[in-house]
Amino acid sequence: MTEDFAKIDGHIGQHLDGWLAELAALCRVPSVSARHEGVGECAHLVAALLASRGFEAEVLPSDGHPIVLAHAVGKNAGRTMLLYNHYDVQPPEPLELWTTPPFQPDVRDGKIFARGAKDDKGELMARLAAVDALLAVDGCLPCNLTWLVEGEEEVGSPNLPAFVERYAERLRCEGAIWEEGGTDAEGRPQITLGARGMLYVELGVRALSRDGHSGNANLIPNAAWRLVWALASLKGPDERVRIPGFYDGVSPASERQRELLEALPSQEAAIKESFGLDQLLLGRTGADVAAAPFDPTCNIAGMSAGYQGEGSKTVIPAVASAKLDFRLLPGQDPFEVAEKLRRHLDSEGFTDVGIKILGGERAGVVDPDDPLVGLVVETAEDVYGKPAQLVPMSGGTTPKYLFTERGVPVVAPGVGFGASNLAHSPDENMRIVDFQNAARHVARLLARFAEA
């Protein structure tokens, strides 16, 4: 095996510039799903990249943004690996914090900077690099590949469940490679097994038909105050979500999961440094940091009311709104949580606070003892030269539940160190060495999967 992969690794090392150019072309398309920008163009570019590798690639409609579905036959045609990626990206704001513009990719300091450079165009491109290397060295793919590239991951994949249902036959597979995961700050591979679910809502209040002069503040209601009080009813500084029944169905980490948590090296120092903190939330430390994702969350992602310009304006805001995401655990259904939220607001007197659901996904969990997980660990250690860690639950959300709930083991080889790539933030980037290692890892994983 070592000899084969030496050739693969050699090919990858020699062709980086071409893949980076293709990645830059992908990142130049501002496929911000929240705003429905550039999604059709980006889907077709992804399909073209797949077709150029010999995939039968189609851009298929959904009730939202188009979804790319592609197939290629490999040497062992009895085994199919599904690869999941997404071509959409998070909004680039705040723009003023980017060193170079988010949709004008820039290579500097051994990194490529752009919105999507890591999440998830960079990851998609690294997998294409693995495919190219396998084709170049072996002349064929080791197994069948089915590639699913959606355009609404960053807005909660609202149309993926129906798509997976509709194309269930074409999506049949013995294993799936998802996004998420990577290395920790010391370069140790982290293999994430669980992804939390999510409910994303926008709360909105209209208190007045128009903004008022604040001299009337004792006489007419203020939408910002209504929103503040409604939000404060959801969670206090103890971080406990106060919606009745919110925690129903949530189980603590199992014995096996606790074992895995205890084996994880602490990420505390890396997170503190990354966000300029003296201590983590609630003073979390030690094993408590790794265990944090076993608590569901209620996060304010944005908030807006009244005058936000320079200086002062004495106005009573007529409207106010907030965006909230709840990260959910197995046992919590996002749409049931939305109903509980509605009942809670009503019972607290906030019938005037509207709820608009922008996304809902269930959590998805993989058995740490599945053979495919073992393959990911082995191949990761081969690439990174360090022992791999199994992360039983990650903080993030990705719709792998659509496959885990069908009994498919879903694994994630991951790309690079999470905190350094600034995914979802200004100056998102991918280290070229991480790109290279991800390609090496996926090539190994596909080859070993085909043998199993």
Interactions with a copy of itself, residue window 357-396 (CB under 8 A): 358-359, 394-396
Q: Which of residues 24-43 bind a copy of itself (CB under 8 A)?
A: 33-35
For a copy of itself, which is the closer residue by CB, 189 or 296? 296
Continuous H helices in 28-145: 39-51, 121-138
Backbone φ and ψ for 299, nearest 5 degrees, come out as -115, 130
Alpha-carbon dihedral sign for residues 166, 172, 177, 180:
positive
Q: Which of residues 265-284 bind a copy of itself (CB under 8 A)?
A: 271, 274-277, 280-281, 284
C-alpha pair distances (Å), 116 with each of 91, 184, 195: 10, 20, 20
Tell me which long-range contacts 337-340 makes (C-beta under 8 A, separation of at least 24).
337/199, 337/243, 337/246, 338/199, 338/201, 340/243, 340/244, 340/245, 340/246
Q: Give yes or no for residue 224 binding a copy of itself (CB under 8 A).
A: yes
Backbone φ and ψ for 368, nearest 5 degrees, come out as -60, -20
| Window contacting a copy of itself (CB under 8 A); options: 2-10, 51-59, 303-311, 379-387 | 303-311
Q: Give yes or no for residue 301 binding a copy of itself (CB under 8 A).
A: yes
User: Site map for a copy of itself, 408-437, x if CB under 8 A?
Assistant: --------------xxxxx-----------
Q: Which of residues 82-111 bind a copy of itself (CB under 8 A)?
A: 90-91, 93-94, 97
Selected from 60, 228, 253, 287, the binder of a copy of itself by CB under 8 A is: 228
Task: Point out which residues pair with 189 in neighbouring strands.
Answer: 183
Distance CA(136)–CA(184), nearest Å, equals: 31
For a copy of itself, which is the closer residue by CB, 251 or 299? 299
Selected from 99, 100, 254, 299, the binder of a copy of itself by CB under 8 A is: 299
Number of residues that bind a copy of itself (CB under 8 A): 92
C-alpha pair distances (Å), 13 with each of 432, 433, 442: 10, 10, 14
CB of 326 to a copy of itself, least distance (A): 9
For a copy of itself, which is the closer residue by CB, 328 or 446? 328
CB of 322 to a copy of itself, least distance (A): 8
Distance CA(316)–CA(216), nearest Å, equals: 8
For a copy of itself, which is the closer residue by CB, 161 or 306? 306
For a copy of itself, which is the closer residue by CB, 136 or 217? 217
For a copy of itself, which is the closer residue by CB, 310 or 369? 310
For a copy of itself, which is the closer residue by CB, 196 or 448? 196
Cis peptide before 325 (omega within 30 of 0): no
Q: Is 181 left (phi over 0), alpha (psi -120 to 50) or beta?
A: left
CB of 243 to a copy of itself, least distance (A): 15
Selected from 20, 69, 171, 292, the binder of a copy of itself by CB under 8 A is: 292
Q: Which of residues 41-80 bind a copy of itself (CB under 8 A)?
A: none
Structure tokens at 42: 């980006």
Q: Give yes or no for residue 320 binding a copy of itself (CB under 8 A).
A: yes
Contact predicate 325/200, CB 8 Å: yes
DSSP, res 94: S
The strands making up 189-192's β-sheet, listed across from edge to edge, are 182-183, 189-192, 389-391
CB of 274 to a copy of itself, least distance (A): 8
CB of 328 to a copy of itself, least distance (A): 12
Contact predicate 195/401, CB 8 Å: yes
For a copy of itself, which is the closer residue by CB, 76 or 425? 425
Distance CA(325)–CA(232), nearest Å, equals: 15
CB of 74 to a copy of itself, least distance (A): 34
CB of 150 to a copy of itself, least distance (A): 15
Q: Give yes or no for residue 208 binding a copy of itself (CB under 8 A).
A: yes
For a copy of itself, which is the closer residue by CB, 50 or 243? 243
Q: Which of residues 137-196 bind a copy of itself (CB under 8 A)?
A: 154-156, 196
All residues at 6 or more sequence positions from 205 whose CB lies less than 8 Å from its CB, including other chains: 223, 226, 227, 230, 319, 320, 321, 352, 353, 354
For a copy of itself, which is the closer residue by CB, 2 or 312? 312
CB of 410 to a copy of itself, least distance (A): 17
